[in-house]
Amino acid sequence: MAIVFENYRQDQAATGLPMLVAGQPARTVAWRHGEPVSAARFLAHVQAIAEQLPPAATAVNLCEDRYAFLVAFCAIALRGQANLLPSSRAPQAVAEVMAAHPGCYAMGELALDTPHYRHLPDLLLTPPAAAAAAALVIPADQIVAIGYTSGSTGVPKGNPKTWASFHASNAGNLRMLHAAVGAGFHVVATVPPQHMYGMEMSVLLPLLDEVSVHAGRPFFPADVAAALAEVPAPRVLVTTPVHLRALIEAGVSLPPIAAMVSATAPMPVELAQAAEARFGAPLLEVFGSTETCVFASRRAAADEPWTLYDDVQLHPQPDGTQVRAPQLEQPMALADIVTLHDGGRRFRLCGRHADLLEIAGKRASLGDLTRRLLAIPGVKDGVVFQLDGGDALGVNRLAALAVAPGLDEAVILDALRLAVDPVFLPRPLKLVDALPRNETGKLPRAAMLALLDGRPSPTAR
């Protein structure tokens, strides 16, 4: 393998294959420890690592450092292998994915006690050797990643992604961000690159356009502020509602940001408005899934309908919605219930088919019940969900977990009675110290059930 740097779009047109990295050799791909990493240095690292990889069909990419993840992702792909992206990096989740792909290995920059694990060297201690002259390309139809769903509705499922499909989905995200921010922005992300949202917004963007990304994954508000200060303007913060609420409650001051992007959970209008007022930047909420990648966006603070990306079509069905998008070889069915507007170019989300409830002839949704739980003064976090196994009439009971220091279950239930029909009151409702959220703020169903039963909750690294 060898590398030459020419204009990305000209090379792509000439070869008919998607190039690995967009832009010129001097442009910045990532910021690590406050220092820029050029495309030239990045590709040399990719080449050096790719030459050390064993023969295999798949590899679990466990890198926490985002720059290490970028290098490993591209090195694995250049060897014709697919990056396995488990729903979490907890040992059990990793073991399950590896068991489903016999012969695979795992790779990361940390020293982990994981079977068939390859430890990446410190990529910045030793300068990479100079690269020879040949273009680095990946076949358009190559499966470069298999992303696993979060498990919030059951067992995580693998979803193969080709290099061409990533190019197609990335084009929509770029159009959205270019319209809001312009070109040449710099991303700081609080979400892991293994999650499909993190993949799209912090891995594909710096690879496929002249965008750079901060190598870290800041968690605490002060760390987010420090990471943003380490990249130049214009800055884009890629985050989740959970992280955004923590930033506002902490009262932290952030360097000027051009935009915020959110996904993984519904964004309350009040939180979006508070974030825009606090940080002086538009909040763009994106809509998609591990199965489909992002295919729509909206300005969350305006509570406006979602706008579909170019060439995306939705077809409502009784039990969900069929999605047609450039990144999908075949139409994909989602459980989301939508209503179309403006000739089908926009839509409103009415909930998920599995979230819609009908008890004693009355209807509600789990999403709305959770929203009303969170609206109770003193409730810091919470979720309403349905238990397995129905009663004599086949109706599944509702349960709830709530984080509400200073309150008790009776007070919360009394407040809920004022907002919802009594048939939808969750019983049991259990107070907990914290919800078992994973790295993107989602709640795996198995972890919620374990916490409700008083068993140790599985946690994600």
CATH code of the domain containing 321 = 3.40.50.12780
The enclosing H or E element of 84 equals: strand 82-85
* Closest to 263 measured CA to CA, from 282, 291, 242: 242
Residue 5: pLDDT band with limits 50, 70, 90: very low
The residue from 135, 161, 187 where one domain ends is: 161
Contact 38, 83 (CB under 8 A): no
Q: State mean pLDDT over 291-301.
A: 95
Q: What does the pLDDT look like over 223-232, one tens digit per residue?
A: 999 999 999 9
115 shares its domain with 207: no
pLDDT at 111 over 80: yes
Instruction: Tell me how far apart the alpha carbons of residues 149 and 342 are, in angstroms, rounded to a whole number.
Output: 31
Mean pLDDT in residue range 167-175: 95
Residue 244: pLDDT band with limits 50, 70, 90: very high
Cα atoms in the Cβ-side hemisphere of radius 13 Å centred on 82: 22
* Position with higher pLDDT, 154 vs 408: 408
Domain that holds residue 291: 167-354
Residue 357's pLDDT is 72
Do 397 and 276 belong together in one domain?
Answer: no
Q: What is the pLDDT of residue 123?
A: 63
pLDDT over threshold 70, residue 342: yes
Q: Is the residue at 460 inside a domain?
A: no
Neighbours of 287 (CB within 10 A): 20
How large is the average pLDDT for residues 119-135? 61
Work out the average pLDDT over 425-453.
87
Find the mean pLDDT for residues 159-170: 95
Give the pLDDT band of residue 13 (cuts 50, 70, 90).
very low
Please check whether residues 233 and 129 belong to one and the same domain. no
Phi, psi for residue 185 in degrees, rounded to 5: -95, 175
Higher pLDDT: 203 or 13? It is 203
Residues 327 and 410 both lie in one domain:
no
Same domain, 341 and 432: no
* Domain stop point among 161, 177, 192: 161
**Residue 380 domain flag:** yes
Residue 371 has pLDDT above 70, yes or no: yes
Q: Does residue 1 belong to any structural domain of this protein?
A: no
Tell me whether residue 34 is in a domain: yes
- Which residues lie closer than 8 Å to 270 by C-beta, 6 or more apart? none
Written as six digits, the tokens of 244 are 């955004």
334-350: b or e for each residue (b if 16 or more CB lie within 10 Å)?
bebbbebeeeebbbebb
**Which tokens hold the place of 345?**
């170019």
Q: How far apart are CA 69 and CA 56, in angstroms?
A: 18
252: pLDDT strictly greater than 90? yes
What pLDDT does 407 receive? 92
* Average of per-residue pLDDT across 328-354: 88
Q: 91 and 49 in one domain?
A: yes
pLDDT-derived band at 154 (thresholds 50, 70, 90) equals low
pLDDT for residue 219 is more than 80: yes
Do 136 and 181 fall within a single domain?
Answer: no
Alpha helices in 251-385 (DSSP H): 269-279, 366-374
Instruction: Look at residue 439 in the predicted model and tell me its pLDDT.
Output: 75
Both 274 and 340 in a single domain?
yes
Residue 227 lies in a domain: yes
Question: Is there a domain that residue 154 lies in?
Answer: yes
Same domain, 203 and 316: yes
Residue 386's CATH number: 3.30.300.30
Prediction pTM value: 0.81
CA 288 to CA 297: how far, in whole Å? 9
Beta strands in 221-353 (DSSP E): 235-239, 259-262, 283-287, 296-299, 306-308, 313-317, 320-324, 332-334, 336-341, 346-352
- Which DSSP helix (H) or strand (E) runs through 162? strand 158-162
Answer whether 363's CB lies under 8 Å from 374's CB. Answer: no
Residue 42 and residue 99 in one domain: yes
Q: Is the dihedral of CA 217, 451, 457, 366 positive or negative?
A: negative
- Label residue 388 by pLDDT band (50, 70, 90): confident
Is residue 445 very low, low, confident or very high in pLDDT (cuts 50, 70, 90)? confident
Distant-in-sequence, close-in-space partners of 359: CB < 8 Å, separation ≥ 6: 395, 423, 424
Count up the domains in the chain and report the number: 3
Average pLDDT over residues 308-317: 95
Domain boundary among 354, 387, 406: 354
Please check whether residues 13 and 103 belong to one and the same domain: yes
State the pLDDT confidence band at 21, using cuts at 50, 70 and 90.
Answer: confident
359 domain residue, yes or no: no
133 within a domain of the structure (yes/no): yes
* CA angle 68–70–75, rounded 5-degree value: 95
Q: In this structure, are 202 and 319 located in the same domain?
A: yes
